[in-house]
Amino acid sequence: DLSHETAALRATYQTSYGRGDLALRDSSHGTDVTARLDGAIVLAGGGLFASNRVVDGFAIVNVGVPDVPVSLNNRLVAETGPFGRAIVPDLTSFRVNRISINPLALPLDANLVATAQDVVPARHSGVTVDFEGNTDSAALVVLRDAAGTLLQPGSTVRLEGNSTPFTVGYDGEVWIEGLGAQNHITVETSNMTCAAEFTYAKTSNAQVYIDGVECR
């Protein structure tokens, strides 16, 4: 009996802001359409965030730079919005969760206190992860080897007296904070380790640029 035939269609669309379900059912009695949005709205960390459902713990991540990928336990899970913040909804309570960003995805003048942090949220609660630093005593430094060649991107720079590692970007440039009048750094590349010294002086400009630092 064709009068009792039924046709059904269902579609699901998953985004970083939630999951949408759309169901369409057509029968002799008419057409039914059902739509559902499954997600969460979180007011925390000085902002309002839309995300997938928060089952356990979550984190509000502040990078201070938009469009930066954010990873949870080495898995890409979010991207910072226009104000440089993102929500990560999949943290496990009472366990160590490692939240990190890729420094190579940042502009060269970005000023961060770290590129990874370990957090332990309580059940059904959130934590704030703040990567953003300040611009005091910081400079953009250009590093070269003894032959005058720019150091390769991804090299790790460590400033004496500072436990935070810094990463070399393109054109040998690295943003270093916590500088003093006299500074000693060590650099690890893929094939060598070298050291360099340079002076620093504050100026009225927002950014200090130091070129010609030779790493031997």
pLDDT at 39 over 50: no
Instruction: Give the model's pLDDT for residue 205.
Output: 53
Q: Which of 117, 21, 14 is nearest to 61 (CA)?
A: 117
Bridge partner list, 143: 213
Q: CA quadruple 103, 108, 110, 113: dihedral positive or negative?
A: positive
16 contacts 79 by C-beta, under 8 angstroms: yes
Dihedral sign computed on CA atoms, order 178, 181, 186, 189: positive
In whole angstroms, what is the distance from residue 98 CA to residue 120 CA?
9
Secondary structure, 3-state, 25-83: EEECCEEEEEEEEECEEEEECCEEEEECCCCCEEEEEECCCCCCEEEECCEEEEECCCC
Residue 83: its pLDDT value, please?
84
Instruction: Say what the pTM is.
Output: 0.47
| 126 vs 39: CA distance, rounded Å | 16
* pLDDT tens by residue, 101-140: 988 888 776 767 678 887 777 777 777 788 876 556 778 8
Q: Are strands 18-27 and 182-188 parallel, antiparallel or unpaired?
A: unpaired
Express each pLDDT in 193-211 by its tens digit: 999 999 998 775 556 889 9
* Poorest-pLDDT segment among 11-25, 72-86, 101-115, 121-135: 11-25
Which contiguous run of DSSP H or E holds residue 22?
A: strand 18-27
